[in-house]
Structures are given as C-alpha cells and as structure tokens.
Amino acid sequence: MEEEGILTRVPSQFESLTHYFFAVDGKMVALFGLKDSLKSDAKENIAKLQELGLSIILLSGDHAKVTHDIAHEVGIVKYEAALLPHEKADYIEKLHQEGHKVVMAGDGINDTLALSRSEIAIAMGSGADVAVDVSDIVLTNDSIQSLYDAFIIAKRTLFIVKENLVFSLLYNLITIPLAMSGCIIPLFAALSMSLSSLVVVGNSMRIKTLFKRS
C-alpha cells in the first residue's frame, strides 16, 4: 500500500493490531485491525515449560508491536517479528549453528519450512495438512497444556527407559555369573528371566500411571 502511494501511515489506534487493507482504484476503502486472543492456559503453561529448563522463543509473521504484546503477555522474553517462512527456517538454522537442539511447535503453512528444519517438529491439532505431514508429533488439540504434557511424557519415558536399562544390566551382571558357575538350576534361571521381563514391562506401564496422577 505504501509502495502504491495509497497509505502513508497506520492510524495510531491500529498500531497494536494486525492490519488488513483494502483499496479500490488507488483509494483506501477499508482498514481492519485484528488481534488474536490468547488461549486461557497459555501464560500458565509457558511458565511451566520454562520451569522444565526450556528456552522459549516466539517466531511470528506479525509486526513488531503485535509480537511484543503477545510475548510480554505470556512471559516470553525472546521473540522475532515480521518473519517470512524462509526467515523462520533460517533462524532455526542459526540456532543449530550455535549448538542448540530445536523443538518447533506450529500449525500453519508458514511454519512448515521451519518445522522441517527442527530436530523435533510438533504440529498443533488444527494445523494445516502440510504442517502435519512434516511433523514428528501431532497434538490432538490446540491447547498449550497438551504441548506441556508431551514434554512431561517424553521426560518420564526417557527416565523409565534408563531405569529398565540399569535393571537389566544389574540382573545380567548378577545372574549370568551364577548360572555359569552352576549355583542356580536351569529352571530357576528360566523363571528369573521371565520375571525380569515382567518387571521391565510393569515398570514401563508406570508411564501411563504416573501421567494420570499428574
């Protein structure tokens, strides 16, 4: 609009909004200012994600004022505004070059390229099909709580996997020498092997139980 000489400046009452301009024959006929409403649980769950030790960065295609207001409202310190799709992807690459591992959550076509460049891509429930296709995880809804839950499940799963590995290592360190020395009978060895498998499976089922308690 500025390049065509139709608009010289945005009215002050629209500065904190996303702008939509309509012109006919070189004359402005309509100007809309829209603002996304934050999800009710956004601020709380962003804080919980930060408590997990995650560094949250907001990458937005909106202009600086809108992006600043949203970031400030939810408690995000670092943000980038007015980014085109390839610029979001370039920012991800910059983080990689700095040695960071990136988990990207997005839902739009504009996020697709950045999602594909991330170590882990998470598509929100109502995301565009192309965003879903390139993502590693698809949440069933758009709640930020679901994003937090995904991190909790991943952390607990990894912890339990490590527990199972430690148990299996200790079991083999103890029982294999006993079996080789003839201190235990073959029947007992077979039963103990089955028991160890049951312990590992039972411990793995704690993932679901622990999540229900949280």
Domain boundaries, given as residue ranges, for the chain: 1-35, 42-147, 148-213
Top pLDDT among 171 and 157 is at 157
Instruction: Say if pTM beats, i.e. exceeds, 0.85.
Output: no
pLDDT-wise least confident of 55-59, 75-79, 168-172: 168-172
pLDDT at 18 over 90: no
Strand segments, DSSP code E, in 64-152 are 78-80, 103-106, 120-123, 137-138
Confidence of residue 211 (pLDDT cuts 50, 70, 90): low
CA distance 76 to 42: 11
User: For the chain, how far is it from start to end, CA to CA, in angstroms?
Assistant: 52
Confidence of residue 204 (pLDDT cuts 50, 70, 90): confident
| Model pLDDT, residue 20 | 85
The answer to whether residues 160 and 203 touch, using CB atoms and an 8 Å cutoff, is yes
The DSSP element (H or E) to which 26 belongs, if any, is: none
Dihedral over Cα of 171, 176, 178, 179: its sign:
positive
The DSSP element (H or E) to which 173 belongs, if any, is: helix 144-181
pLDDT at 90 over 90: yes
45-67: average pLDDT: 91
| Model pLDDT, residue 121 | 92
Nearest to 49 by CA among 179, 169, 151, 121: 151
| Model pLDDT, residue 179 | 76
| Model pLDDT, residue 115 | 92
Confidence of residue 41 (pLDDT cuts 50, 70, 90): confident
**Token pair for residue 4?**
């065509």
Nearest to 175 by CA among 205, 158, 197: 197
pLDDT at 128 over 80: no
pLDDT-wise least confident of 53-57, 72-76, 139-143, 173-177: 173-177
| Model pLDDT, residue 9 | 74
- Is 42-147 assigned to CATH 3.40.50.1000? yes
